Amino acid sequence: MGQGFLQISFTLCIAIAIVPILGRYMARVFLGERTILDFLMNPIERSFFVLAGVRTKDDLTAWQYIRAVLYSNLIMGILVYLLIFYQRLLPWNPNSFDAPSWDILLHTVVSFITNTGQQHYSGETTLSYFSQVAAVGFLMFTSAATGLAVGIAFIRGLTGKKLGNFYVDLTRAITRILLPISIIGAIALVICGVPQTLDGTLVVQTLEGRTQYIPRGPVASFEMIKMLGDNGGGFFGVNSAHPYENPNGAANLIEIIAMIAIPTSLIYTYGIFAKNIKQAWLLFWMVFVVFVILISVTVSAEQQGNLLINGTLGLEQANLEGKEIRLGAVQTALWAVITTATACGAVNGMHDSLMPEGLFSTLFNLFLRMIWGGQGIGTAYLFIYLILTVFLAGLIVGGTPEFLGRKIERREIILASLVLLIYPIVVLIPSAITLAYPLSLSGITNPGFHGISQVVYEYASAGANNGSGLKGLNNTTLWWNLSTCFSMFAGRYIPMMAILLLSEGMSRKPLIQATPSSFKTDSLLFTTATAGLVVILGMLAFFPVLILGPIAEGFKLAAGS
């Protein structure tokens, strides 16, 4: 346990050290200030803007920003659908893969364009190298950049600035942040042993005289943007549990840091925009405390192992089911909490094999959506909770509900409520329909409480644009493909629209002189109140599901049945 504690502490210390560095750099990028990459990227960006007819100084209204997001995502989705559909006719297809079925293909496109990365297929047996790189890899960059751009637009509006230009934000997110870090990270992964090749499947003869087929491909470049952009979809079916995606402890550390770097640093970026670093650090530590608690709960349970199995065998050992021995129980548990906290969804072990405490932690992360969260959107969720805390605190004590010197009124509360309410709708309603037809729709392979968790987790992951899942669920059917498409689409774009409209409304409000009744949102007391409200509001709709799923399973296991 001591070694595991040191590993976790070392990883978290690196993540914390990166926050002010990357947070300050991202603020400079989106504030239009000089950066180290200007000499290289400025000519490229100017050429692109001229060809695309983008006026870089034109600020968009909320509805213009929304239309730009929707239209661009629609065009990219159609393009990627066609690329995969005709992959047999395109280059870099050494295994001569044909197009998958239309519903799998639709699910794949919606999954990656919404930055979800939920996979109902195995990449090494379904997609050509060209489809992996030019189709899926392309969406990994653009979907992450879209979320980042919307998150920055939200921060701008919240701090009294205009929303900016979506096309400029999208481009700079790719050229100044995602692409440079991905190149450096991919080189580091190649050094760690991750393959980067266009050669086809390797055929070898085993010592027993049998033939073994070893898939490979341009994995390192794919893996890095998958982690950095919190996409989560793997080059191989078993994702980052595959030795070619995550071969050793060094690669595992690089991928964890890539996964958490941008979401954590965006809080510091907000602090620079708002000129209130104190509040940024308070919010950071608020989220960090909850994050560490969930890590502790999950790691302790996995280290303790399954009491029934340990009692039968007469020994004490960690829960190693569904885990790679080269990584161990501690690193798998840490990864499970981080990947659901950041909305990444990549896995280095099977979440279906987690102890009930670990399953509770991962579902808790998915339900809240703001413990770091995804690219930009998670930060927006954090401030949605903050706005609601200001409003409710004002109702309780009779103070004026203000945030950053601007009044919070009826319109802001309606939009904030919409952001929080849409998620339970896209999770609980499809889950209820699916559980009502266990034979024809659900494909549950585990009866009882764990079977309920399987179904709810699939929709929670889709609605949160996370992508991880509890394997063993027969989710390749028409029902699962179409219903999760609905959850991914609605869980992505409806909150995006609401937070952009909310931020524009806040940006247009006049500044109000602070009075004795105004709340100080950069105090420890207010931050603590926000944490309490997050837990109450975030779990209100989902606590019955947790009772029927991991909590009931945990009690059953403790009772020895």
In order of 72, 165, 299, 453, 479, the CA distances from 146 in angstroms are 10, 12, 33, 31, 28
355, exposed or middle or buried, with CB in 10 Å at 0-12, 13-18, 19+? buried
CA distance linking residue 231 with residue 364, whole number of Å: 20
- Checking if the pLDDT of 561 tops 70, the result is no
Q: Token pair for residue 197?
A: 């090749």
Contact by Cβ (8 Å): 462, 487: yes
pLDDT tens for 405-436 read: 888 888 999 999 999 999 999 999 999 999 88
Element at 213 (helix H, strand E): strand 211-214
What contacts 36, CB < 8 A, 6 or more positions away?
A: none
Query: Nearest 5°: CA angle at 106, between 84 and 232?
Result: 80
Which of 420, 389, 372 minimizes the C-alpha distance to 523? 389
CA distance linking residue 301 with residue 64, whole number of Å: 49
Q: Scanning the structure block, which residue is given the tokens 């580091």?
A: 188
Quote the percentage of the chain above a pLDDT of 70: 97
Average confidence (pLDDT) over 248-261: 95
DSSP class of residue 352?
G
pLDDT tens for 121-160 read: 999 999 999 999 999 999 999 999 999 999 999 999 999 8
CA distance linking residue 422 with residue 410, whole number of Å: 18
User: What is the pLDDT at residue 2?
Assistant: 67
Neighbour count for residue 272 (Cβ, 10 Å): 20
Average confidence (pLDDT) over 365-384: 87
Largest Cα–Cα distance of the chain, in whole Å? 82
Q: At 210, which amino acid appears?
A: R
In order of 220, 342, 419, the CA distances from 183 in angstroms are 9, 21, 35
User: What is the pLDDT at residue 479?
Assistant: 93
Q: What is the DSSP string of 356-376?
A: HHHHHHHHHHHHH--SS-SSS
φ, ψ at 213 (rounded to 5°): -105, 120
How many CA atoms within 13 Å lie on the side-chain side of 274?
Answer: 26
- Checking if the pLDDT of 213 tops 90, the result is no
User: What is the pLDDT at residue 117?
Assistant: 92
Under the banding of pLDDT at 50, 70 and 90, the label for residue 206 is confident
Q: At 551, which amino acid appears?
A: I
Q: Token pair for residue 277?
A: 């670093």
Contact by Cβ (8 Å): 438, 510: no
CA distance linking residue 385 with residue 376, whole number of Å: 15
